[in-house]
Amino acid sequence: MKKIKAILSVLTVIAIIGVIEVYALTSNGYYSVTLPKGQTVSLTMKKQDSYDCVVYRLINIKPTSTGEDTYKKMKMSIYNQSTKLMEEKVITESVSNTLYRYSHIKDLSAGDTITYKMRGNNPDLPAIADVYLGWY
Amino acid sequence: MEVINSIKMQSSLLIRKKGFQISFLLLFAYAMLISVIYAYMQKGSYTTEMIHPAMISGITSDVDYVWFFCRYFPFMAVMPAGFSFINDINTKTSVLLKAQMGEKRYYMGKLVSVFLITFITFTFPFFIELLLNVIIFPFEGTRAATGWEAYSLTYVQYANNHLMSRLFYNNIYIYYIISTALTGIFAGAGAVFTVGISSFGIKYKAFLFLPFYLFIYLAENISKYIISSYTYIDTYITIFDIIEGKSMAYYLTLIVLLMIMGIIFTAINIRRNETR
């Protein structure tokens, strides 16, 4: 009887943790959008009422024709619905593959706009750019 | 002096227990595995393209598999010493120790030794890993685990988001040691809190995995409505984390809160035992 009770206690703990983890998984998330290739791209947030962070991923970043890493400059601006600039960051980096950036911004809402401006004249700017908008 | 003897005696008892030995070995094996994986991943790379030795660690926010450390952290924190009070009662050791050193000294020694043993479990494996990484990997490695150069303009934008970022700029090794120690302190506070809960006479050990886990879950989800800082604990217990909006005050408040609750719960039960 003691063993059964001990096993039941372990199962209860696993069940409680399981329920919390499943709830946490469903209440947190990322909303992914693929941005088109271009010098300036912008994205208007949809779906979720508010977001806490922005993560973006640039892939297929190619080296220049000379084979050297390309120094790229990229500007990320986030505007809210009344077009007020909320955040602006410049990235200057020697990159040759995938690049992630994180930004924790409270109270981003549906309708707010994120704008990415690619500077420089390299035609091999990211072929695909994914943006993940997260909430937790 | 007698309190120190109580701490020494109870710490040496805890070190001999399987809970401490297994959890220490698990964390040590995890830390070593991360170093081996990164040594393999960077095989054949130019030294300047390699990750800085201090940034290859099982506790670094951006290394692969750190997810395991974060997910199992609240449970691992309980394993080394969280069950010690229940074990003492089950084996009648508590009666012997209380008779020998007095009830208050026993409880004080218990809380301090639980904290120390958990702190050691969560820090020493990563200190040893740092030492080995410094020997194994070249100092010329300048990249961060994110893939960026650790002191590039881009990374510096993010390094400002590290807790104690000034320390990072001044000395990366001291930053590593102090940040890891802070994680150890948080784990130790969680263990003290768990022991405080266990003094209420919880019958089944399995239930002791819940209090610290629930505390973290509630702290994350309630605090985000109260304070403007980022409240997700994973970004605090890992080092070199680049998420914005973290607050040292929030982290320290949680540590103090856990300690105080652990001590208060234990004190309540000492008083309850005295009035019986």
Please say whether the structural domain A30-135 has been given the CATH code 2.60.120.380: yes
B249-270 burial code (b ≥16 CB/10 A, e <16):
ebbeebbeebbebbbebbeebe
Whether the CB of A16 is below 8 Å from some CB of chain B: the reply is yes
The structural domains of chain A, with segments of one domain joined by +, span 30-135
Tens digit of each residue's pLDDT, chain B (276 residues): 678 888 999 999 999 999 999 999 999 999 999 999 999 888 888 877 788 889 899 999 888 888 889 989 999 999 999 999 888 888 888 888 888 888 888 899 999 999 999 999 999 999 999 999 999 888 877 777 766 666 666 566 677 888 888 898 889 999 999 999 999 999 999 999 999 999 888 888 899 999 999 999 999 888 878 887 878 898 899 998 877 778 999 999 999 999 999 999 999 988 887 776
Burial of B126 (0-12, 13-18, 19+ CB in 10 A): buried
ipTM over 0.85: no
Rounded-to-integer distance, Cα B103 and Cα B88, Å: 13
Are the C-beta atoms of residues B148 and B220 closer than 8 Å to each other? no
Residue of A21, A51, A105, A136 to mutate, testing the B interface (most B Cβ within 10 Å of its Cβ): A136
Q: Which one of A89, A94, A100 has the shortest CB-CB distance to B157?
A: A89
Which has the closest alpha carbon to B151: B175, B130, B122?
B175
Q: Which residues of chain B are within 8 Å of residue A16 when distances are taken between CB atoms?
A: 210
Residue of A101, A108, A132, A135 to mutate, testing the B interface (most B Cβ within 10 Å of its Cβ): A101
Asked if B217's CB is within 8 angstroms of A24's CB, the reply is yes
* pTM for this prediction: 0.81
The residues, ordered by sequence, that sit 6+ positions from A129 with a Cβ below 8 Å of its Cβ are A34, A35, A37, A41, A56, A57, A58, A59, A116
Cα A32 from chain centre: 7
Residue A107 above 80 pLDDT? no
Q: Which three-class secondary structure state does DSSP give residue A70? A: strand
Residue A13 above 50 pLDDT? yes
Whether the CB of A73 is below 8 Å from some CB of chain B: the reply is no
Strand order in the sheet with A50-59: A29-35, A128-135, A50-59, A99-109
Whether the CB of A50 is below 8 Å from some CB of chain B: the reply is no
Q: CA neighbours within 13 Å on the CB side: how many for A20?
A: 16
B215 to chain A, closest Cα gap in Å? 12
Q: Which residues of chain B are within 8 Å of residue A105 when distances are taken between CB atoms?
A: 244
A37 to chain B, closest Cα gap in Å? 22
Rounded-to-integer distance, Cα B184 and Cα B116, Å: 9
Q: CA neighbours within 13 Å on the CB side: how many for A120?
A: 17
More confident residue, A53 or A25: A25
